[in-house]
Amino acid sequence: MMVVESLNRTESLGDITYIYSYRLTRGHISMNLKSENVLVQTYGIEVERQDFISGIMVNIERDRAENISPQRYKVHNLLRMIYEQGVSPIHLIEVLGEYIDDYIIDFDTYAAEATSN
């Protein structure tokens, strides 16, 4: 997995500061196309929250969803959405679940296009 884009935000609540990092990641999966294994570039999202009290890190939460789609723009749009809404890593899968379910078809589309050439 490689980070290809990162968005950061900071929120303060009383004496606690939360630093959020939203990352677009790139990876690969192997697909069998025309009886041949082919590496397909995929994109996913990782979200991390670091909690600081008086400048001392007291907690880290992190979650990710890998291989959401081979279409970068779709995953980038999801990244922007969760960044703008301030989604916590604790709720990442809950928020992205339906999108991930819908985007699985992108792999079938990729396979159909690759085998038609």
- Identify the band that residue 115 occupies on the pLDDT scale cut at 50, 70 and 90: confident
The two three-digit tokens of residue 45, written as one number: 């999202």
- At residue 58, the pLDDT reads 97
Give dist(CA 76, CA 60) in Å, integer: 24
Residue 98 domain boundaries: 2-116
Q: List pLDDT tens digits, range 20-72.
A: 999 999 999 998 877 888 889 999 999 999 999 999 999 999 999 999 999 99
CA 29, 23, 62, 65 torsion: positive or negative?
negative
- At residue 73, the pLDDT reads 97
pTM score, whole prediction: 0.91
Residue 115 or 7, more confident: 7
Q: How many domains does one find in the chain? A: 1
Residue (of 61, 68, 70) closest to 96 by Cα position: 68
- At residue 108, the pLDDT reads 85
**At residue 117, does pLDDT exceed 70?**
no
User: How much is the mean pLDDT over the chain?
Assistant: 93
